[in-house]
Amino acid sequence: MTALLTRETAQSIPADGPILSARAVVKRFGQTEALRGVDLDIEPGEVLAVMGPSGSGKSTLLHCLAGVLAPDDGSVVFDGIEISRLNERQRSLLRLNRLGFVFQFGQLLPDLTAVDNISVPLLLSGVRRNEALKRADDWLERLGLGDAGQKLPAELSGGQAQRVAVARALVTNPTVLFADEPTGSLDSLAAEQVMNALLDQVKAAGTTVVIITHDPRTAAYADREVIVRDGRIPAGNGVRSA
């Protein structure tokens, strides 16, 4: 199992079948039922937009899919692994090596330069510092941030900081990238730059992307959209019929 948790590239994904699959997932917070039996399949290399109004449960769904929260009922299977059966350490290992994350704002370490921020996941994976910095520099170039390597987050614009976050999420070649409102704090021009940069890279690498958004313009970049309402995904929307 450890080998599956630490596999570094997306190339080993099975050609057929979903890479991530949720079945009858229920999640409760006290008396509130945030997810009420969600079924969802996500195919390898697919870009999926999860939409829905505030409080609909889309963020909770993302937490369950990423192994952040354990469902109360149902199962989440990633690349053949039942995530809810993993312990905390194994889930950390999974998130570090197989999943990537981009958030809305404030996710960069303020004291680290852009290049150091990008290198952190590699260092955590045991890559040597020089190699990590080299690969981080490479990602900065790919995302058009070649001059920004030695800048601190406070010295970057919102769009630049978000592209650094994208580079940090992709530097470990994750199998699935989760992006939670990745353009929520940006103006439309910066948002477009970030989405284009992100999609250029994931398409080239065949990375699966799950984007949480309530912005139709962001959702338009996706291959498929699912709507979450009152903790449910309408029948036939989340799971493709055979």
Binding residues for other proteins (CB under 8 A)? 59, 62-63, 66, 68-69, 89, 92-97, 99-101, 103-107, 109-113, 116, 119-121, 123-124, 128-129, 152, 154, 169, 180, 212
Number of other CB atoms surrounding residue 163 within 10 Å = 26
Write down the least CB distance from residue 122 to other proteins, Å.
9
Least Å distance between CB 124 and other proteins?
A: 5
CB of 234 to other proteins, least distance (A): 23
From the CB of 241, what's the least distance to other proteins, in Å? Answer: 31
Residue 168 or residue 232: which is nearer to other proteins going by CB? 168
CA neighbor of 195 nearest in space, from 214, 225, 219, 174: 219
Q: Which residue has the tokens 């409080």?
A: 55
SS3 content of the chain, % helix, strand, coil (to 5): 40, 20, 40
Task: Choose between 154 and 242: whose C-beta lies nearer to other proteins.
Answer: 154
Q: Which is nearer to other proteins, 17 or 111 (CB)?
A: 111
Residue 15: Cβ-neighbour burial (10 angstroms; 0-12, 13-18, 19+):
exposed
Neighbours of 120 (CB within 10 A): 16
Q: How far is CA 180 from the centre of its chain?
A: 7
Nearer to other proteins, 154 or 235 (CB): 154
Q: In the complex, what is the shortest distance from the CB of residue 36 to other proteins, in angstroms, rounded to a whole number?
A: 19
Of 122, 74, 220, 200, nearest to 130 by C-alpha is 122
Give me the least distance between CB of 60 and other proteins, in Å please: 9
Q: Across the chain, how many H-helices and E-strands are there?
A: 8, 9
Instruction: With H, G, I as helix, E, B as strand and everything else as coil, classify residue 103.
Output: coil
Which token pair is 224? 């498929």
| Terminal CA-CA length for the chain | 29
Nearer of residues 43 and 64 to other proteins, judged by Cβ: 64
**Which is closer to other proteins, CB of 43 or CB of 91?**
91
What's the min distance (Å) between Cβ of 48 and other proteins?
Answer: 16
DSSP 84: G
DSSP reduced 3-state for 59: helix
Between 78 and 101, name the residue whose CB sits nearer to other proteins. 101
